């Protein structure tokens, strides 16, 4: 049956958890117009920078929540390897290349089904970089001046008595929020799961999108940051945010002995066994809570009040984490032996990603006047 879409209506309705819009369709066999409800899929986007071996912070803060979100009805998930972002932190080509493979393998090992999502390498979607330039032309320098990463870099120079506060700061670091905005807006994503430390970048993306829309019409959605109240910012072995930059990470796929060794290196205070301990700001407890059920977390909190020994607390954390990652570890060992499979998955994902991004970019080009005569 040949059908022609005559128009879209600004009529939307929810059927359960599904969002739908009304379309008017001409059906020649019946020689009449039909009205149908079409499901509108909510777009969620998550990326991980390929600047090192993926760690527990990546897993509980990004990978696992994104995989769970991709299973929801009415959701389209866009998951990517942020390899261009990695150039800000590293000028080591082999590190960038090897990390891209490790991060991609981590997604699949943790249960991602690539056929159900759009899973791609950032560098395989040139539309993102083109969009970044268009966005940079409507972004105020003052907005970039307020970015946390840039301010931290200038503050570090100031603390070291360097008069040129911009010394050693690249334009890549300065413009980082614009590229992140392009990552999101290239697909008009509506929700972006992030840690508390990344919330500012989503707010900046909203500012940039709103400015573009003000100048050129409604082209972009204003994305929403989704922050897990359970994980927040996962601490590393030294108590600071778990980050490759701080060299305080616990890689996801460590063997049992190496994992136990890493957990036992977590810094704690000097309180003796039997002395009640504060759980709220304790690195061991925060890591435990990220993996534990509510019952397990409550039990651990009681043990803290009873004065659990640090060695025992770390052993409990090890058992919990090891049990969680064991099936992921086994799948990772299989996946890493077949690089051609992983490459094919990413290439196929890039085709899907470009189909979506090209639609947005075509609208952007038209709105700013870059179009054929």
Q: List pLDDT tens digits, range 181-221.
A: 999 999 999 999 887 778 899 999 999 999 999 999 999 99
Is residue 208 in some structural domain? yes
For residue 98, name the pLDDT band (cuts at 50, 70, 90).
Answer: very high
354 and 312 in a single domain? The answer is no
63 and 105 in a single domain? The answer is yes
Mean pLDDT of 229-258: 88
294 and 171 in a single domain? The answer is no
Which pLDDT score is estimated for 236?
A: 95
Is residue 373 in some structural domain? no
Q: Supply φ then ψ for residue 170, to 5 degrees.
A: -85, 160
Mean pLDDT of 254-275: 96
For residue 18, the cross-strand partners are 15
Is residue 227 in some structural domain? yes
Angle between helices 93-109 and 339-368 (to 10 degrees): 100
Is residue 238 in some structural domain? no
d(CA 354, CA 373) in angstroms, rounded, equals 24
351 and 330 in a single domain? The answer is no
Judge whether residue 232 has pLDDT over 80.
no
Which pLDDT score is estimated for 90?
A: 87
Judge whether residue 278 has pLDDT over 80.
yes
96 and 71 in a single domain? The answer is yes
288 and 217 in a single domain? The answer is no
- For 6-14, which contacts have Cβ atoms below 8 Å and span 24 or more sequence positions? 6/33, 12/40, 13/37
Which pLDDT score is estimated for 22?
A: 55
51 and 127 in a single domain? The answer is yes
Judge whether residue 54 has pLDDT over 90.
yes
Mean pLDDT of 55-70: 90
Report pLDDT digits (tens) over 306-351: 999 999 999 999 999 999 999 999 999 999 889 999 999 999 999 9
Domain interval for residue 36: 4-40
Mean pLDDT of 95-111: 95
Q: What is the radius of gyration, based on Cα positions, of the chain? A: 24
303 and 216 in a single domain? The answer is no
137 and 158 in a single domain? The answer is yes
Distances (CA, A) of 355 to 76, 190, 347, 366: 14, 18, 13, 17
Mean pLDDT for all residues in the chain: 90
Number of domains composing the chain = 3
Most distant pair of Cα atoms in the chain: their distance: 84
Which of these ranges, 167-171, 230-234, 364-368, has the smallest mean pLDDT? 230-234
């Amino acid at each position: 049956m040949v059908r022609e879409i005559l128009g879209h209506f600004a009529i939307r309705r929810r059927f359960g958890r599904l969002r739908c819009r009304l379309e008017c369709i001409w059906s020649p066999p019946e020689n009449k117009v039909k009205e149908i409800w079409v499901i509108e899929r909510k777009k969620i986007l998550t990326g991980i920078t390929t600047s090192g071996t993926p760690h527990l912070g990546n897993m509980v803060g990004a990978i696992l929540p994104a995989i769970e979100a991709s299973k929801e009805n009415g959701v389209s998930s866009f998951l990517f390897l942020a390899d261009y972002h990695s150039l800000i932190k590293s000028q080591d080509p082999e590190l960038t290349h090897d990390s891209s493979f490790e991060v991609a393998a981590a997604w699949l090992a943790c249960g991602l089904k690539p056929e159900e999502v759009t899973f791609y390498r950032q560098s395989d979607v040139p539309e993102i970089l083109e969009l970044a330039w268009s966005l940079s032309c409507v972004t105020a320098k003052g907005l970039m001046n307020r970015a946390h990463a840039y301010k931290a870099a200038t503050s570090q120079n100031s603390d070291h008595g360097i008069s040129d506060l911009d010394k050693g700061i690249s334009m890549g670091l300065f413009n980082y929020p614009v590229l992140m905005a392009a990552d999101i807006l290239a697909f008009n994503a509506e929700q972006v799961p992030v840690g508390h430390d990344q919330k500012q970048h989503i707010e900046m993306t909203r500012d940039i999108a709103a400015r573009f829309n003000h100048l050129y019409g409604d082209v972009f959605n204003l994305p929403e940051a989704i922050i897990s109240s359970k994980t927040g910012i996962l601490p590393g072995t030294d108590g600071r945010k778990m980050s490759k930059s701080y060299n305080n990470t616990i890689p996801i796929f460590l063997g049992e002995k190496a994992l136990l060794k890493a957990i036992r290196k977590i810094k704690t205070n000097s309180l003796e066994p039997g002395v009640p301990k504060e759980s709220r700001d304790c690195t061991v407890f925060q890591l435990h809570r990220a993996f534990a059920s509510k019952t397990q977390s409550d039990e651990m909190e009681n043990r803290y009040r009873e004065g659990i020994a640090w060695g025992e607390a770390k052993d409990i954390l090890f058992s919990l984490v090891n049990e969680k990652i064991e099936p992921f570890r086994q799948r990772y060992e299989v996946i890493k032996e077949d690089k051609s499979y992983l490459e094919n998955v990413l290439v196929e994902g890039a085709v899907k990603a470009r189909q979506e991004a090209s639609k947005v970019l075509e609208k952007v080009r038209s709105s700013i006047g870059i179009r054929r005569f």
